[in-house]
């Protein structure tokens, strides 16, 4: 970033100063000296800085989006892999539970807890 005109006038900036502080110092200098030419550089520098920040934010969001897509793909692959393993077991369980339910209904046992069901059946 360049403040050509301002640098010529002898203003120096430290790296620790924020951009806002630098712009304020330049604007104060312009008001004090009445040097309108400096404003052109301030404006140019402000636009350059804004574009830099905008690009940085854009790149950051693109990186986040990319990473998010990677994570989503990993999660999806993991889920698909687990479903391929677990789905047959799930189907088997569902069938078993359906059979169990039919058995319990047949024998007039409404409680599904085995001990209670046995106790009621024995009564």
For the stretch 60-95, pLDDT in tens is 999 999 999 999 999 988 888 887 777 777 777 777
Structural domains counted in the chain: 1
Q: Which residues contact 40 (CB under 8 A, 6 or more apart)?
A: 5
Q: From first to last of its 123 residues, what are the pLDDT tens digits of the chain?
A: 444 444 444 555 555 566 667 777 777 777 777 767 767 776 777 777 788 888 888 899 999 999 999 999 999 888 888 877 777 777 777 777 777 777 767 766 555 666 666 666 665
Model-wide pTM > 0.85: no
Q: How many CA atoms lie within 13 A of 83 on its CB side?
A: 6
Given the structure tokens 């039919």, which residue do they identify? 102
Residues 47/51/57/62 CA torsion (nearest 10 deg): 160
CA distances from 38 to 2, 3, 47, 121 (A): 12, 8, 14, 97
**Domain enclosing residue 95, as ranges:** 4-122
């Amino acid at each position: 970033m360049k403040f050509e005109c301002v640098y010529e006038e002898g203003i120096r900036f430290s790296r620790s100063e924020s951009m806002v502080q630098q712009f304020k110092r330049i604007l104060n200098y312009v008001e004090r000296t009445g040097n309108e030419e400096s404003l052109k550089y301030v404006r140019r520098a402000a636009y350059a800085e804004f574009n830099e920040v905008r690009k940085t934010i854009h790149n950051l969001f693109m990186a986040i989006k990319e990473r998010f897509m990677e994570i989503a793909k990993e999660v999806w692959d993991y889920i698909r892999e687990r479903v391929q393993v677990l789905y047959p077991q799930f189907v088997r369980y569902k069938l078993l539970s359906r059979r169990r339910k039919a058995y319990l209904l047949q024998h007039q046992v409404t409680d599904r807890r085995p001990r209670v069901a046995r106790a009621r059946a024995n009564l």
